[in-house]
Chain A
Amino acid sequence: MTTRFNLTMQLSAVLALLFWVSPLQAGIDGITGTNFTLSVKTGRVFTPDGGSLLLWGYADGTGPAQYPGPTLIVNEGDTITITLNNALTVAGTASAPNVSMLFPGQRAETSTTDPGVPGILTSEAAPGGSVTYTFIAAHPGTYLYYSGTDPALQVEMGLMGAIIVRPSNGANFAYNHPDTAFDREYLFLLSEMDPRIHEAIELDGPQSTAVGPYLANPFPVVWFINGRNAPDTLDIPNLPVLPNQPYNSAPMMHPGERVLMRVLGGGRDLHPFHHHGSHARIIARDGRLLASSPGAGPDLSHEVFTIKSVPGETVDAIFEWTGKGLNWDIYGTPADGPQFVHTCVDGNGDDFDDTTHEYCPDHYKPIPVVLPDNLDLAFGGFYSGSSFMGTLGSLPPGEGGLNPHGGYAYMWHSHTEKELTNFDIFPGGLMTMLIIVSQGAPIP
C-alpha cells in the first residue's frame, strides 16, 4: 500500500493546488472567544451560473459581510457578549432598516447596557447604531443565529449563521458523553435564495413594494451549503473571487473514522439531506442529546440515510464508513496486480485491520464482476479510474482528475433533486462530495 501512496502523492502535489487542499481548512471555520463584534453590511453572493445577488450579511468586526455570518465557536458555560453594529447601506434615499440577532436555543440574558432600540422579537440596532446581546452558552451543541427584525426578508437577504458550543469534556466531543466523540467535524448550513427578492431590494431599497408578494410566496432557484452553491462548495475556503462567501463544504475522512455532521436548516424550506456512502446516526437535535435521561448518552439515537433538515432546526449526526461487508476487497487482490499485495492484521479482534480499518473477513476476496471496457463507459471527475481504494487507474484523456488520492467519493446533497441546480443550470446547488481516502493519505 505504501507504494501506491507514493505514486498518488506525486500527482496530488500538483492537484492539491487546485482542489480542496488548504492549510486553513481543518475542522470548522469560524471565530472563537467570548466577546464578538459583528457588523451588518452589504455584499454580493456569487452564484456559479455567473450571476450575483445583493447580500445583507453579518461581518466579523471590520471584515467583509459574510454568507453565512461568522460561525461563532464558543465553550460551554461561557458568557457570550456580542456587539452588533448596523453598517447597512441601501439604494436611493431610503433609510436602512434596523437589524438584530436572535439566538434560538440559548437563554438570553437581559443587559442593562444594551444601547439598542426595542423591536418585536428583540432589541435592534438602528442604522449607524449598535446593540449588545449577552447569553450564557449553557448547553453544548449546534445552533443557529439569525435576524429577528423582519426575518422573512432579512434572513432571505443573508442574515443568519451558526453557533457551535463545545462541551466541557473536550473539543473532540459533540456533547458531554463518550459516545459523542468524533475524529472530524463538518458544518452543513443549508439555505436557499429567491433572486426576485434580492433584485427588488437592490433596485428599490428596503421599502420596495414589489417584494411583498415574493416574500409571501417565495420561489427559490439557488440553494446553498455554507453559503456556496456547488461546485463552489468544493473549492477552498477564503477564495478571493468569493469575497463574501468564505466557507466551503468539502468533507473528507479515512475509513474507520467518526465524522460529526452538524446539519442546520438556515433557510425557510425543508431539505432532505442525503449522504451517499452509509447511514449516519442522529445523536442530537437543536443542541440537545437524544438521551432518555441525563448521562444516558444518545440512547434514543437512530440511523438514517437521509437527514430531514427542517427550517430553524439543527441535527448532529455521526457518520462512519469502512466498506464492511461488501464481500470483495476494496484494497484489491494479488490477482489484480503486484501493487495490491497487502495484509489485514486484526490484532484487537474487531474484524478490522488495526491500522487501515480494512474489514478482514473480506480480505483478498475478488471483485465479483468484470467492469465494461472504457469505451462503453462515461466517467465522473471524481472517479479515480479504479474500483480499489487508494488506487489511480488509467482513464481516457480529460477524464477524472478530481480525486488525486484514489479515494472513494460520495455525493452529499439535497434529495429534492431540483435543488441541484443553479438558476436553471444543472448540476450545482445544495451539493458537495465526501471523499474517503485510505489511511495515510493526507487530509488537510
Chain B
Amino acid sequence: MATGYHRIIMKIVLTGSLFFLGSSAVQAGVLVQCPGDADGSATWTGAEVQPVHAKCMHLGAGDGFITMADGKLQYMFGFSNLTGIPANTPTGTAEILDAGTLAASFPAPLIALDEGDEFYLTLTNIGMSMRPDLFDPHTVHFHGFPQAASIFDGLPDSSISINMGSSLTYYFKLNNPGTYMYHCHVEAAEHMQMGMLGSFYVRAAQNGTIFNYKGKDFSLFAYNDGDGSTGYDREYPIQIGSFDSAFHDASLAVQPLPFATMFDNYSMLNGRGYPDTVNPNPLPPPAENGGKLSQVESTLITASPGESVLLRISNLNVTKMNTLATLGIPMRVIGKDARQLRGPDGKDLYYNTNSITLGGGESYDVILDIPAGDAGKTYFLYTTQLHYLSNDAEQFGGMMTEIRIN
C-alpha cells in the first residue's frame, strides 16, 4: 500500500517540480548550496575542496512511520538525512526525492558542529507521501541561535518556507557553543506534534586545550570556561519528545486534527520509549517505510568509572513541562539554554541536583561525575512525572533510560 502511494506521490512531486522548473528563473527543483561541493552531495569528495570552517548538511522534510515501545505504529512528519547523495546532477532531483520519501526519522538527524563553523544547511521539501492532500511548506528553525536574522530563522510568519520539490539553504555562523535544538516551525503545533524535532549542539572552541579541574585533565568542554569546570569525557544528546497517538492517527486518516484535546500518551527520549531507549541498535524499520530506518538513535548511556558524562538535554515536547531526574548519581548543572551558568562578572552559578524541570524549548547541560568505584553499576535517567513512565497503556516504560558503568 505504501508503495502504491509512493508512486502516485512521486508523480505528483516530480510533476510539481517540473512546473517549477519551467517557470522559475533562479532555481527549480532540488539544489544544494555548499561551498567547494560541485555535485550537491553536501560533502567533499574527489577533487572537491572543503573550505576552512565550512560544514554542510542536506535534510529532507517529509513523512514516514516509527514504532512505539509497545509496538504501535505511528505515522509522523519528519526530517531525513540526504547528505551524501549528489543532488545537483541531471538525475539528482529524482534521486533525492526517492531517498527522502517515507524517510522521516525520529528524532530528526543529529546536528553536532564546532564553534567557528560556517554551516550551510539545505532543506528539501520532499512532500508527505501519505497525505497527498497536503501541500505544506517546511522550514528549519535553529532554536536558540543568538542574534538570528529572520530570513534564516525558519519562522514561516516572518520569512520564507520551502515548497514541495524545492530546496532552501540556510546559513549559520556558529559563534556560541552550547545545546540548541531544531524543528520545523510551519504550523508548529501540528508539525512539531507530528515529529519534526531534533537535537543540535555546538562544541566549544576551547576543545583540544588541556585544563585540569579538580585533579582531572580535560580536553573536551561544554563551554569556553577558562578553568575546565565544564570538562567532560563523553557527551550524549537527550531530547524529550512525545506523541499523542490520537493526533497522529487522525493525521494519517485525514481527519480533523484534535488541537484542543491534544494529550500525549507516548513519552520518549530521543524518539523511543523505555525499554527501546536502551537498545543500542537502530530499531527495525517499519514495513510501511519500505524498509527505511526511522529510529536510529539509542539513548543508552555508557561510561567508565571516574569519567565525566555531559548530558545535553533539550525538550521539544509540545504539551507539557517535563521533569527529568537521575537515580544513583547527582547532576551537576553547568549550562542552560546554550549558555554557561556563569554570572556577568564571572561567578559560577552551577548547582547540584537530582532533577531538572524544563518546558518545550528549554535546554540544560548537566555533567554526571561517575565515582571511581562504580564499575558495574547502573543509574537511571527518568521522569518523576510518574504517569509518563508508560508507553500508552503499557506500564513502566516511556521517558526513561539507563546509565551503565562498565
Question: Are A330's CB and B187's CB within 8 A?
Answer: no
Contact string against B for A residues 413-434, beta-carbon threshold 8 Å, 1 for contact and 0 otherwise:
0111110110111110000010
Least CB distance from B295 to A in Å reads 22
**Interchain CB contact under 8 A, A376 and B151:** no
Check B166–A328 contact: CB distance below 8 A. no
- Once bound together, how far apart are the Cα atoms of A301 and B349, in whole Å? 9
Bound CA–CA A375/B23 (angstroms) = 8
Q: How far is the CB of A404 from chain B (nearest CB, A)?
A: 14
* Alpha-carbon separation in the docked complex, A403 to B344 (Å): 35
Decide if A224 is an interface residue (CB 8 Å cutoff): no
Residue of chain A at shortest CB distance from B23: A375
Q: From residue A415, how far is it (CB to closest CB) to chain B in Å?
A: 3
- The yes or no answer to B192 lying at the interface (CB within 8 A) is yes
Contact check: which of A327, A370, A371, A409 meets B157 at CB < 8 Å?
A409
Q: Using Cβ atoms and an 8 Å threshold, which residues of chain A touch B150?
A: 382-383, 408-410
- The reply to whether B173 and A380 form a contact with Cβ atoms under 8 Å apart is no
Task: Kindly provide the distance from the CB of B27 to the nearest chain A CB, expressed in whole angstroms.
Answer: 5
Cβ contact within 8 Å between B189 and A420:
yes
Task: Tell me the residues in window 170-198 of chain B with beta carbons closer than 8 Å to chain A beta carbons.
Answer: 170-171, 173, 175, 185-190, 192-193
Contact with B along A168-195 (1 / 0, CB 8 A): 0000000000010000000000000000
A380 touches B159 (CB 8 A): yes
Which residue of the partner chain B has the closest CB to A271? B359
Residue A303 is within 8 A (CB to CB) of chain B in the complex: yes
Neighbouring B residues of A299 by C-beta, 8 Å: 343-345, 347
Judged by a CB distance under 8 angstroms, whether B342 is at the interface is: yes
Q: Of A372, A381, A418, which is in contact with the most chain B CB atoms at under 10 Å from its CB?
A: A418
Inter-chain contact B149/A323, CB cutoff 8 Å: yes
How many Å from the CB of B147 to the closest CB on chain A?
A: 5
- Interface centre among B146, B147, B258, B336, by most chain A C-beta atoms within 10 angstroms, is B147
Q: Which of B91-99, B318-326, B373-381 contacts A (4 or more CB under 8 A)?
A: B318-326
Tell yes or no: B101 within 8 A of A by CB. no
> Is B161's CB under 8 angstroms from A378's CB?
yes
Residue with the highest number of chain B CB atoms closer than 10 Å, among A387, A414, A416, A433: A416
Residues facing A in B49-85 (CB within 8 A) are none
The yes or no answer to B26 lying at the interface (CB within 8 A) is yes
Is B168's CB under 8 angstroms from A408's CB?
no
Which A residues are in CB contact (< 8 Å) with B25?
A: 373
Instruction: Tell me the residues in window 15-71 of chain B with beta carbons closer than 8 Å to chain A beta carbons.
Output: 20, 23-28, 31, 33, 35
Report the Cα distance A277→B168, complex, angstroms: 20
Q: How far is the CB of B117 from chain A (nearest CB, A)?
A: 11
The answer to whether B359 touches A308, judged by C-beta atoms less than 8 angstroms apart, is yes
Whether A335 sits at the interface, judged by CB under 8 Å, is no
Q: A356 vs B328: C-alpha distance in the bound complex, in angstroms?
A: 54
Check B28–A302 contact: CB distance below 8 A.
no
Residues in chain B near residue A305, CB distance under 8 A: 143-144, 146, 337-338, 361
Is the CB of B388 closer than 8 A to any CB of chain A? no
Closest to A274 in B: B361
Whether B153 lies near A415 (C-beta < 8 A) is no
B362 contacts A272, C-beta separation under 8 Å? yes
Q: B155 interface residue, CB < 8 Å from A?
A: yes
Determine how close the nearest CB of chain A comes to the CB of B43; give it in whole angstroms: 17
B31, B155, B175, B260: the one contacting A421 at CB < 8 Å is B260
A376 touches B162 (CB 8 A): yes
Rounded to whole Å, the gap between the CB of B349 and the closest CB of chain A is 6
8 contacts between A and B (CB under 8 A): A371-B160, A377-B162, A380-B155, A380-B159, A415-B359, A416-B360, A418-B189, A424-B260
A-side residues, CB < 8 A to B, are: 179, 221, 270-272, 274, 276-279, 281, 292, 298-306, 308, 321-328, 330, 367-373, 375-383, 387, 403, 408-411, 414-418, 420-421, 423-427, 433
5 additional contacts (CB under 8 A) given A279-B146, A376-B24: A272-B358, A272-B359, A321-B147, A376-B163, A418-B259
